[in-house]
Each structure stands twice: as structure tokens, then as C-alpha cells.
Amino acid sequence: MAEVTIKVEGMSCGGCVRNVTGVLKALPGVEDAQVSLESASAQVRYDPARVEPAQLRAAVEGAGFDSPV
């Protein structure tokens, strides 16, 4: 299992945090996601054999937020 912190920009409230957490945890290979409004980031535990950070960022972007490298 690997761990990465990605940027999540554009979150305004706890609902955003729940939404981002949900889309990340829905990805195959994602074990856990801790999303922080204050630090505009998400710490994700994942199986590198099944998913990679670029896909995590793409899922965040798909939910309407920005996740620059």
C-alpha cells in the first residue's frame, strides 16, 4: 500500500469534503482518503498496482474541484 497527498483546491464547506472523500474512496484500489478543507489537500492510501495518483487527481477534477500537480 502506498500513500500520497494531492492538492484539492476549490472546496468551500464540509459538503465538498464529503463529496471529494466519496469520489476518491469509490475508486478501485483506494483504501482510505482523508480530505482536509483547511489544507486544501487529500491524503490517500492506495494500492499502486490498481490506481495511480494521476487517476486520483482526475477523479477530484471530475467532481468539480482543481487538483494541480
Residues engaged in binding ligand 9UX (CB under 6 A): 12-13, 15-16, 19
Q: How far is the CB of 22 from ligand 9UX (least distance, A)?
A: 11
Which helix (H) or strand (E) segment is 33 a member of? strand 30-36
Identify which of residues 11 and 30 has a Cβ nearer to ligand 9UX in the complex: 11
Nearer to ligand 9UX, 13 or 49 (CB): 13
How big is the chain by its Cα radius of gyration, in Å?
11
| Nearest residue relative to ligand 9UX (C-beta) | 15
Determine contact, residues 46/30, Cβ cutoff 8 Å: yes
N-terminal to C-terminal alpha carbon distance within the chain: 21
